Amino acid sequence: MEYIPFDIGMMVEPQIDTGISGVNSIINNFLPAARPYASINPMQMIVFILSVIWIFGVLLLMIYSLTSYLMLKHIFD
């Protein structure tokens, strides 16, 4: 089962399917519909911003891991 469709950013009327109709209707009401007169689909902007935040978080975790490794290496050497 695919809860969030792969192409949700390109849908005119984005919808998800969790298998629970009450949850679906609540979440689907908050998803912005495409605006033909706008230069970008609002869902595409949301997906882009969340992607940038996710990548930033991954980079922070990598920096933290490397720093921790170097500190431990220094302590035990």
Give per-residue pLDDT as tens, 32-45: 887 777 677 788 88
Taking the whole predicted model, whether its pTM rises above 0.85 is answered as no
8: nearest Cα among 46, 39, 36, 56: 46
At 28, the amino acid letter reads N
What are the two backbone dihedrals, phi and then psi, of residue 18, each rounded to the nearest 5 degrees? -90, -10
Burial of 41 (0-12, 13-18, 19+ CB in 10 A): buried
**Is the distance from CB of 5 to CB of 11 less than 8 angstroms?**
yes
- Dist CA 67 CA 30 (whole Å): 40
DSSP state of 59: H
pLDDT bin (cut points 50, 70, 90) of residue 53 is: very high
